Amino acid sequence: MKQKLIFSILICATLSVKSQTNYQVAQIPKELLTRASAVVRNMELNINVKDLDDVTYRYKIATTILNKNGDDEGGLYIWYNKSQQIKSVKGVVYDKFSIPVGKISEKDFKDVSTANGFSLFEDSRAKIFRPAVTVYPYTVVYEYEIHAKQSMVFPDWFPKHSSDVSVENATLQFSSKPNFSIRYRENRYTGDSVKIYKSGDFTTYIWKAKNLEASRYEPYSPSPEEILTSVRIAPNTFKYMGVTGSFTNWNEMGNWMNDKLLKDRNTIPEATANYIRELTLNISDPKLKAKKIYEYMQQKTRYVGVQIGIGGYQPFKAEDVDRTSYGDCKGLANYTQGLLKVAGIDSYYAVIYGDDYKHNALLDFASMDQFNHVILCIPFKNDTTWVDCTNKENPFGYLGDFTDDRLALICTKSGGKLIRTPKFTDEQSLQNRIATFEIDAEGNLSGNIVTTFTGSQYDNRSSIVNEPLAEQLKKFSDFYSIDNAEIQSFKITQDKSIHPVTTETITLKARNYASINGKQLYLPLNMMNRQSPQKEISNRTSAVKINRGYVDVDVTTFILPQGFKIDFKPDNHNIESTCGTYRSTVEQKGEIIKYTRKMKLKEGVYPADKYQDLVNLYQSAYEADNEKLILVAQ
């Protein structure tokens, strides 16, 4: 009996090993190969919380790389710092028949710093490996373990993280002692309901995903966080770098931040406080006072990232920022809050997700990992003003497309509150261009262009506004498709009033702008703002999301050469679409041609079948934008 039991155990162990290493490509279900560059054969993440500052992550990931486009899926990037250490890492590469062709050990990984160029204090590093395999398909299997000294933030689980990746099997297992309670949130989760087991000293949660098929890339789709399967986990009680805390909602999180991260950190040194009082002495309007203080802060300080220890969440003390004249978003916001306080102006420290794609905090799920930036909210009597203290060029009260129109958590005396930042309407985000050109008989052009940018388009020239003229001129071709352009003057100015405006003024010449064919002169009407066509996609599955709307208006006046008359004039266009509108007109008064173009894209989320409307709008605009006026010599 004992021999039979040992024999049975050996058979089971052999079958287990065989099942875990059977990565033959021929075994992949056919439906998972369609549109896939890689297939995740098996993904296991086991999270074990032994104590508030003792958490172990065990990963095992087996991925079959089908072609060169999937090579990035075969690499491994492991981030670590003083609070999160890599305990072990190894791997094996298999060929398409599941035969091992190479082993991977920790010494094969590159160890690099992940500090960016503007962070003064950052202790994060990464181990990186990418197989040098050029024969496809192949499979790479990684196993690694990480130990974390914090339980405040857990990684979101995305079994499928890219459109061109399929997933055969994926499992998330989370274990903790019963007194460590968690909240979780599932998104687009179609697997079996979470399994919850209690065994000994641990409670275990298990989520599984199977046969998630690859999909094609669809432009104007919602963000991956919105449409992909995921599970978020947040603790009710935690510890981070020696600091303990607990919260289950946004109000409690704001209270914890006030008590543990912000308390007694925005005191301004007396010398600076006296200067602020003197600076604002003759200003009675609180908003104008705040503006003066904000501009003082912009001139005095510079941005430097601080990502070390609890500094990743806690601001530098205001007195340190005052002394050194630098800080990160947290430190600069906290410092500005202290300066405003000296002048008797209340403000709220506000955490937000900064990105040009709008990311919102989840209304029903509070967690620290939903933010990456800090700004300041100033609640005046008649309005609320927001300022980003890291941007030295932003006008007072202006939030650009990095932080506009999304939910931020403000830390008030009564706790945290989710409030939406200001939104630019489509019409407010206006690019308005007026150009006047003379055309001579050889088709040469000379004239000027004046363009104003407002709303979310105010920042359209932010990358070059403070660059030397020579650098600005190098970018001209990125903005305009005028061949043979000779720039005679180029100037960018910014009005930083409450409704800021960027103005670009150009004087130029261009040889052979209009082409000659015998007695005919072919004059392009639009070489300043041409629409590109959009790829057609049949049977689209995802909604159409236009993240930000805008209006572009171009009015171009052409003074025609003497001795020419119009041989062909394009028709006017008036195109209405679900997602926007396009209008163009060509008017003639004697030797003057006035070309007007207006393109509007409407922000919003539309059903998948409306994508064709967007394609049609772009195609019609593309065709109209390429039309030419034909002149003929008399």
CATH code at position 399? 3.10.620.30
Q: Are residues 551 and 598 in the same domain?
A: yes
The answer on pLDDT for 173 being more than 80 is yes
Q: Are residues 228 and 264 in the same domain?
A: no
Q: Are residues 378 and 515 in the same domain?
A: no
Helix (H), strand (E) at residue 2: helix 2-20
* CATH number for position 518: 2.60.120.1130
Q: How far is CA 134 from CA 76, 105, 365, in A?
A: 17, 20, 44
Contacts of 5 by beta carbon, 8 Å cutoff, 6+ apart: none
> Which token pair is 252?
């409690």
- Whether 94 is in a domain gets the answer yes
What pLDDT is stored for residue 608 in this prediction? 96
Q: Are residues 115 and 80 in the same domain?
A: yes
Q: Cis (ω within 30 of 0) for the bond into 222? A: no
3-state class (DSSP) for residue 72: helix
Domain final residue, candidates 386, 420, 454: 420
Under the banding of pLDDT at 50, 70 and 90, the label for residue 123 is low
The answer on pLDDT for 120 being more than 50 is no
Domain final residue, candidates 176, 203, 238: 238
The answer on pLDDT for 562 being more than 80 is yes
* CATH number for position 75: 2.60.40.3140
- Whether 68 is in a domain gets the answer yes
- Which regions of 6-75 does DSSP assign to beta strands (E)? 38-51, 54-65
Domain final residue, candidates 365, 389, 420: 420
Measured distance CA(353)–CA(369) in Å, rounded: 9
Taken in order 615, 620, 621, 626, the sign of the CA dihedral is positive
Span 485-502, average pLDDT: 94
For residue 320, the one-letter residue type is D
Q: What is the pLDDT of residues 68-90, one digit of tens each?
A: 999 999 999 999 988 899 999 99
Under the banding of pLDDT at 50, 70 and 90, the label for residue 498 is confident
Q: Are residues 202 and 287 in the same domain?
A: no
- Whether 75 is in a domain gets the answer yes
Q: What is the pLDDT of residues 6-48, one digit of tens each?
A: 333 333 333 333 444 689 999 999 999 999 999 999 999 999 9
Q: Are residues 358 and 455 in the same domain?
A: no
Q: What is the pLDDT of residues 415-470, one digit of tens each?
A: 999 999 999 999 999 999 999 999 999 999 999 999 999 999 999 999 999 999 99
Span 353-379, average pLDDT: 95
- Whether 543 is in a domain gets the answer yes
Provide the domain count of the chain.
3
Span 184-201, average pLDDT: 91
Helix (H), strand (E) at residue 104: strand 100-104
Q: Are residues 170 and 285 in the same domain?
A: no
What pLDDT is stored for residue 557 in this prediction? 97
> Which token pair is 159?
């079994």
Alpha-helix runs per DSSP H in 282-344? 286-300, 318-324, 329-342
Q: Which residue range forms the structural domain that includes residue 519? A: 430-633
Residue 101: CA atoms inside 13 Å, Cβ hemisphere, count?
18
Q: What is the pLDDT of residues 293-335, one digit of tens each?
A: 999 999 999 988 765 556 578 999 999 999 999 999 999 999 9
What pLDDT is stored for residue 411 in this prediction? 97
Chain centroid to CA 278: 41
What pLDDT is stored for residue 190 in this prediction? 87
Angle at 289 between CA 349 and CA 382, to 5 degrees: 70
CB atoms within 10 A of CB 560: 22
- Whether 261 is in a domain gets the answer yes
* Cβ-contact 524, 513 below 8 angstroms: yes
What pLDDT is stored for residue 12 in this prediction? 37
3-state class (DSSP) for residue 201: coil
What pLDDT is stored for residue 275 in this prediction? 97
Q: Are residues 350 and 450 in the same domain?
A: no
Q: Which of 419, 396, 392, 256 has its CA nearest to residue 329?
A: 392
- Whether 425 is in a domain gets the answer no
List the single range of 15-19, 22-26, 261-265, 505-509 with lowest mean pLDDT: 15-19
Taken in order 466, 469, 474, 478, the sign of the CA dihedral is positive
Measured distance CA(593)–CA(492) in Å, rounded: 27
Q: Are residues 154 and 260 in the same domain?
A: no
Under the banding of pLDDT at 50, 70 and 90, the label for residue 178 is confident
Chain centroid to CA 423: 17
Beta bridge partners of residue 127, listed in sequence order: 78, 111
- Whether 271 is in a domain gets the answer yes
Pairing of strands 592-601, 550-559: antiparallel
Helix (H), strand (E) at residue 9: helix 2-20
Q: What is the mean pLDDT of the chain?
A: 92
What is the distance between the terminal CA atoms of the chain, rounded to a whole angstrom?
A: 111
- Whether 173 is in a domain gets the answer yes
Measured distance CA(249)–CA(417) in Å, rounded: 10
The answer on pLDDT for 3 being more than 70 is no
The answer on pLDDT for 122 being more than 70 is no
Span 506-511, average pLDDT: 96
* Cβ-contact 629, 593 below 8 angstroms: yes
Span 279-299, average pLDDT: 96
Q: Are residues 179 and 315 in the same domain?
A: no
Q: Are residues 186 and 258 in the same domain?
A: no
Q: Are residues 292 and 362 in the same domain?
A: yes
Measured distance CA(593)–CA(615) in Å, rounded: 30
Measured distance CA(405)–CA(603) in Å, rounded: 12
* Cβ-contact 377, 408 below 8 angstroms: yes
